[in-house]
Amino acid sequence: MKTRRIGPFEVSAIGLGCMNLSHAYGTPPSRDEAAQVLDGALNGGITLFDTAALYGFGANEELLGDLLAPHRERIVLTSKCGMQGVNGVRVIDGRPETIRASVEASLKRLRTDVIDVLYLHRLDPQVGVEDSVGAMADLVRAGKARALGLSEVSATTLRRAHAVHPIAALQSEYSLWTRNPEIAALEACRELGTSFVAFSPLARGFLGGKLRDVSLLEPKDIRRAMPRFAPEHYAANLKLLDGFEAEAERLNCAPVTLALAWLLHQGEHIVPIPGTSKPEHLWALIVAARLQLDRATLGRLDALINRQTVSGARYSATTQTEIDTEEF
């Protein structure tokens, strides 16, 4: 496994986003299946594992704490504060006192005394980012976090936060079909020495090519509320897959491998964190770090799937109010 850097850490070029082991995409896998995914990731050379207080309302952190505790010294463990479940409801709360309490609870669930990269999951519009990051910086000084990150924020917010404490990583959605980071965030990260951690690098499963009928999504699958997965938009988006899969076939690789390789070629400071609930799918993710793409291939992919060719917004209007990223 090739490596890249996040702050003081050398991490695998492909990390593992662990959200879907407990949260978001319908019924999560069993504990045994989740254990197989995590073991397979470790055996495949993945060292970066990403979770959050929100995922499963703490269940995901507990799962990782139980299953990864024996491997704690060989992995980089990241989690997020500032958005969590309160009485069964998702709440964004970036107040310093809430952040402190949330991180204490996360440390217990994760069965560790320090979080390697602590992210602010969402910017609280009622709290200045300087105040939230200031509280997180206090946790670094207290030895409860080693580095800080932000999630789903703009380049302007990143710079404001970085003035308070160095920001090791900015995490946001980035893939062939979500290009918002190309507006300003990627360049801001380059300027500041901040790594860019790309979540949903497989377009929430779209680029895997297996989801052809969105009516089969479970009722609680969060994609049901995303415009791009609405039937009228998804029918248009499916037409993009034939060309994409043809490129993967030409390169003798899985579509997900090609999607991740494209991301890795966008900059040395980019670290994708795909997720999976199937251990048999891991190898196609891991080998993406080895796949070299020439300029002609990159050009064809860029022309095929981009913000002009994808139909529908990535978030609903309500969810869009909760994020701070640049929009086209």
pLDDT score for 105: 98
The helix (run of H) or strand (run of E) holding residue 131 is helix 129-141
**Domain containing residue 116:** 3-320
Please say if 25 is a catalytic residue: no
Residue 255, in any domain of the structure: yes
* Residue 326 located in a structural domain: no
pLDDT of amino acid 72: 97
DSSP per-residue letters across 50-104 = E--STGGGGHHHHHHHHHHGGGGGGSEEEEEESEEEETTEEEE---HHHHHHHHH
Interacting residues of 90 by C-beta distance below 8 A, sequence separation 6+? 54, 83, 84
Task: Identify the pLDDT of residue 319.
Answer: 95
**pTM for this predicted structure:** 0.98
Q: Which CATH number belongs to the domain containing residue 107 in this structure? A: 3.20.20.100
Residue 154 lies in a domain: yes
The answer as to whether 283 is a domain residue is yes
Q: From the first residue on, what is the mean pLDDT of each consecutive set of 10 residues in the chain (328 residues)?
A: 98 98 93 98 98 97 97 97 94 98 98 98 98 98 98 98 98 98 98 98 97 95 97 97 98 98 98 97 97 98 98 96 96
Q: Does residue 281 belong to any structural domain of this protein?
A: yes
Q: Write down the catalytic residue from 25, 55, 174, 234.
A: 55
325 in any annotated domain: no
Give the pairing of strands 83-86 and 89-92: antiparallel
Question: Does residue 49 form part of some domain?
Answer: yes
What pLDDT score does 126 carry? 97
Domain count, the chain: 1
> Residue 328 domain-assigned?
no
Give, as one character, the DSSP assignment of residue 115. E
Residue 23, pLDDT score: 86
